[in-house]
Amino acid sequence: MTDKVLDGQLALVTGASRGIGAATAKALAARGAHVILTARTAKDLEAVEDAIFEAGGSATIAPLDLSDGESIARLAVAISGRWEALDMLVLNAAMLGTLGPVTTIDGAEFNRLMTLNVLSSQAMIAHFDPMLRKSGKARVVALTSSVGTAPRAFWGAYGASKAALEILLQSYGEEMRNLSGIRTAIVDPARTRTNMRAKAYPGEDPSTVKQPEVVAEAIAELVSGDFDTNHRLVLQG
């Protein structure tokens, strides 16, 4: 078991039912944090929670649809009623959407994608800002993609959502720089074995890309130390 460097701290991870989110929740719990797990599917969250408990950690599940702003508001009220401060917020939940030309983007799907990938993160930041400010050294981490800064053909919708997320978080980081101990970071996991990547690259051999646990350890290591706001961590492919 990793040293409990995060003992007594509270973390919230979105999209924590599988992939990088689940692995990150386990890594933070292994370092002593109590982790709140959010995603839509309660059964999958329970499996992650069980794994954390079996490893000697602690967690609480909070099933919800992040595309519903009212659900996020209710979650914030519930959590703030039990804990005073939030020390770590990991914004991981996202959807890929359909890859294709910008001219063929479906408006309804694009709206769902932007709602989950961008608007829900803004809502999480807004509703949990009071708890983050009460932490002596809160860290807010958002997962991104290389297509958020390097446009790629047929990835316009997803890339636009990640570009928007990055600017959103970086703006928040600058706003908080001289007002609180909140520090923000962008993490680009690069090629990682997730369901989203399998959907984007159906012919790829999964054994040729790294496991989510590699990304999770990097995130846990990052938030366990000190970094200046708007830090950017890009993992190797």
Tell me if residue 158 is catalytic: yes
| Tens digit of pLDDT at every position of the chain (237 positions) | 458 999 999 999 999 999 999 999 999 999 999 999 999 999 999 999 999 999 999 999 999 999 988 999 999 999 999 999 999 999 999 999 999 999 999 999 999 999 999 999 999 999 999 999 999 899 999 999 999 999 999 999 999 999 999 999 999 999 999 999 999 999 999 999 999 999 999 999 998 999 999 999 999 999 999 999 999 999 987
For each of the domains in the chain, give its residue range(s) and CATH number, in order of start.
Answer: 10-234 (3.40.50.720)
Query: Contact at 8 Å (CB) between 130 and 77?
Result: no
From the candidates 128, 155, 158, 172, which is the catalytic residue? 158
Does the pTM exceed 0.85?
yes
Tell me the sheet residues that pair with 13. Answer: 37, 90
Q: Is the dihedral of CA 67, 73, 78, 80 positive or negative?
A: positive
Q: Closest by alpha carbon to 114, among 127, 98, 95?
A: 95
Rounded CA-CA distance 33/101 in Å is 43
User: What does the DSSP 8-state code read for residue 233?
Assistant: E
Rounded CA-CA distance 31/13 in Å is 15
